[in-house]
Amino acid sequence: VSLSSKQLKSLTQLIPDGEVQSAPHQLVAYSYDNSRLQAMPDTVVIPHNREEIIQLVKWCGVNKIPLISRGHGTGTTGATVPVNGGVVLSMEKMNRILEISPQNRFMVVEPGVTNQQVQDAAAEHGFFWPPDPTSAAVCTIGGNLACNASGPRGVKYGSPRENVLGLEAVNGRGEPFKTGCYTTKGVVGYDLTRLLIGSEGTLAVITQATLKLQPLPQTRQTLRVLYNSIQSAAKAVSRIMAQPVIPYSLEFMDDKAIQMISDYSQLNLPDTARALLLIEVDGTYSTIADSVEAIIDSAQTEGCIDVFRANSTEEIEQLWKTRKSLSPALRKVAPKKINEDIVVPVSEIPLFLQKVAEIEVQHGVTIVNFGHAGNGNLHVNLLVDPDDSTQMKAAHLALAAIFKLTLELRGTLSGEHGIGRVKREYVSQEIDAVAMRMMHDIKHVLDPYHILNPGKSLPDDTTG
C-alpha cells in the first residue's frame, strides 16, 4: 500500500479535528512495538472521538487501506506493527476517564487511558482494576483488552475477559455498536464483549470500555521463598494452588533468571538458591497472618531453603524491583531474545521445566524461565543473537519442541502476550481446523473488507 497525495488530502479533509501525520520522523514513532519488528505506516491518524474513528474506518474500507489501532506500543508480538503499511490509528488522545461508579463497581474509560491512570482513579474510591501487566505505568487499556493482558494479579483476579462488563466499538464497515452491559450479570444476545477482547484489533476498533472494579485489599504481605532446585519450587507452586488461599500473585524465577538479576542488583542470595518464588498474599488486617501461614506451609516443600517476609514498604519495593528488573536485564544480555509466554496446567510445571532443561541441552540454546506460575504462565526466554544463523536455527528447533511439549501437556501457546505477527505460524497447532475456519468466518462478518489489522493474530485464511 502507498497513499496517493489525493488520498492523503481526502483523509485530512475527512477528519478536520483529527491529526493526520505523514512526515517521516512522525511515521517512524508509530512503526514499531516492543517486539523489535518494524514497518512504516503510510500515515498516522490521532482521533479525538468516536465519530472521527467511524469516518476513518469507512474511508479505509472504501480505499482498501489497512487500519492498525494502537496504544503506547508496549506489546511484544508485533500486533501493532503496520507490516502491510496503511493507516495507524493512535488512541493517545482518546484517553479520558468518563465515569467512576463506586456503588456499582465500574469505571467507563476510553481506550487510550493508561492502566496506571485507571488504577490511580480507582484507588481514590478504594478500588482497583485487576489486570496489571508489567508495563502498567505506560501501557493503555485498549492494548490490555486487545491482547487480554493480565500480569501477576491474574492468578487471583483473572484477565480482562473476567474484568470487563461491556464495550463500545466500531466494526470494519465503520458501524458503531455496543456489547455487554453495565451490570455483572446479563445474558441478552451473544457475548461480543469477550469476542472482541483478545482479538488484537482484527475484529473492531474498541472506542470505550466499562471496566469491572474490585475493592482494594486492606493489606498485603510479600514473601520471597528460595529453593535449592527448580523442581522443588515447581512442586511448591502446585501445592500452593491446591489449597484454598489463592495468592494475590505468585511469581517464579529459575536459576538463570536469579543469576541474571544478581549481576544487575545487590541480591545477596545464598549460592545454593536455584529457584525463587515471589509471593504476595492479600486480605484484611485480621486475616492476613493466617493466610500467609497457609501459603508458607504449602511453600515449604523439600528443597525450600529460605523464607523471607518483607517488613517495610522499602523491602516490598526491593522485592518487586527484582522481578521487574528481569526483562530489562535479559534484554541487556540478549537484546533480541525470543520471549514466549506459554501456559501449562500448574501440576505440569515440574515436568515442563524438566523437559525444557533437556531441550536446552539438546539444542545448545540458553533458556531462562520466569513468570506468573500461579496460572501456569511461564515466560520462556531463548537468549539468541539473531545475526548468528546457526544459533537461530537451533533456537527455532528448540522453540518448536517447547510448543509441542506445551500442547502435549494440555497447555496453550500464549497466556497474555498474544499472537500478533510473531506466533501466527504456530496457532494452527493449537486451534483445530473447524474452529479456525469459524474464526476466519467471524472475522469476515465483523470486518468484510479485511482492513482491520490484516496479517495478525490468526494465520492467513488459505481455505479460499
Site for its own copies in 47-106 (CB under 8 A): 101-106
CA-wise closest residue to 378 among 347, 404, 415, 351: 415
- H or E element at residue 127: strand 127-128
End-to-end CA distance of the chain: 22
> Count of residues binding its own copies (CB under 8 A)?
94
Q: Would you count residue 189 as binding its own copies (CB under 8 A)?
A: yes
Closest separation between CB of residue 86 and its own copies, Å? 22
Beta-strand ranges (E) seen in 203-287 are 204-212, 214-215, 219-227, 249-254, 275-283
In the block, residue with C-alpha cell 479485511: 450
Closest separation between CB of residue 219 and its own copies, Å? 11
Residues 6+ apart with CB under 8 A from 433: none
Closer Cβ to its own copies, 178 or 321, answer by number: 178
Contact positions with its own copies (CB under 8 A) in 141-160: 147-148, 150, 154-155, 158-159
Cβ atoms of 52 and 11 within 8 Å: the answer is no
Q: Would you count residue 416 as binding its own copies (CB under 8 A)?
A: yes
Closer Cβ to its own copies, 289 or 361, answer by number: 289
Contact positions with its own copies (CB under 8 A) in 438-457: 438-439, 441-443, 445-446, 457
Three-state DSSP class for residue 175: coil
DSSP code of residue 225: E
Closer Cβ to its own copies, 23 or 188, answer by number: 188
Residues 6+ apart with CB under 8 A from 196: 145, 167, 169, 179, 203, 204, 206
With CB under 8 A as the contact rule, the residue among 126, 328, 335, 364 that binds its own copies is 126
- AA letter at 48: H
Residues 6+ apart with CB under 8 A from 419: 77, 79, 200, 413, 427, 456, 457, 458
> What string marks each residue from 192 to 211 as x (binds its own copies by CB under 8 A) or -?
xxxx-xxx---x--------
Contact positions with its own copies (CB under 8 A) in 267-286: 283-284, 286
Closest separation between CB of residue 372 and its own copies, Å? 8
Contact positions with its own copies (CB under 8 A) in 236-265: 238, 241-246
With CB under 8 A as the contact rule, the residue among 187, 268, 312, 313 that binds its own copies is 187
> What string marks each residue from 308 to 347 as x (binds its own copies by CB under 8 A) or -?
-----------------------------------xxxxx
Closest separation between CB of residue 59 and its own copies, Å? 18
Cβ atoms of 126 and 80 within 8 Å: the answer is no
> What string marks each residue from 370 to 409 as x (binds its own copies by CB under 8 A) or -?
--x--xxx--------------------------------
Q: Would you count residue 179 as binding its own copies (CB under 8 A)?
A: yes
Closer Cβ to its own copies, 191 or 317, answer by number: 191
Instruction: Label residues 149-180 b or e (16+ Cβ within 10 Å = b).
Output: bbbbbbbbbbbbbebbbbbbbbbbebebeebb
